[in-house]
Structure 1
Amino acid sequence: MAKLAGKKVLLLGERDGVPGPAMEACLKDSGADIVFSVTECFV
């Protein structure tokens, strides 16, 4: 995950897939700057 250190990240999660907060939790210790995280329903 060192490739994400210092990078700004936008996370778009899906309701029936992986939600945004779950991705945010996984990337929290990567050093990435999470500027936006959301869960949407793409139907």
Structure 2
Amino acid sequence: MGKLEGKKLLLLGERDGVAGPAMEEVLRDSGAEIVFSATECFV
């Protein structure tokens, strides 16, 4: 059982950094539930 097993995740990606869908792909098999994922531009 991993540290994220059974947790709910809110993923907020950054346009010039790591995007939300990229984080989703990496964390998909972590056992956590991805509740929200977005990529924003922080200026």
Q: Percent identity?
A: 79
Structure 1's unaligned 5+ residue stretches are: none
Structure 2's unaligned 5+ residue stretches are: none
Hey, what's the Cα distance between the residues in 2 that align with 1:39 and 1:5? 24
Q: How many residues align?
A: 43
CA RMSD of aligned residues (A): 1.2
Alpha-carbon shift at residue 41 of structure 1 (Å): 0.1
| Consecutive aligned runs of 4 or more in structure 1 exceeding 4 Å deviation | none
More helix by share: 1
